[in-house]
Amino acid sequence: MTDLFNLEGKTALITGGSRGLGLQMAHALGSQGARLLLSARKAEELMEAQAELNAHGIKADWHAADGSKEEDIK
């Protein structure tokens, strides 16, 4: 994706960010300068996604949570 928009200084929360469309969205937003917070149920997959993004120079943090459980998202 070329420089369609600049997201420097912005943070994006991406649910389902460990794989599939969520991970692809993380790559797209991160390549435009957004800092990322990935959320998904499996910590192991989140760690792998973080490593993949970091290898491409994209800053990403993660939090394992089940979005359908209120106690996980508080």
Q: Where are the domains of the chain?
A: 12-67
Instruction: Print pLDDT tens along the chain (74 aa).
Output: 556 689 999 999 999 999 999 999 999 999 999 999 999 999 999 999 999 999 999 999 999 999 888 888 77
User: pTM of the full predicted structure?
Assistant: 0.87
The sign of the CA dihedral 29, 67, 44, 20 is negative
Determine contact, residues 46/68, Cβ cutoff 8 Å: no
> How does strand 35-40 pair with strand 11-15?
parallel
Give the pLDDT of residue 52. 98
Residue 74 to residues 13, 36, 68: CA-CA distances in angstroms?
14, 18, 11
| pLDDT value for 3 | 62
Strand (E) or helix (H) holding 55: helix 43-55
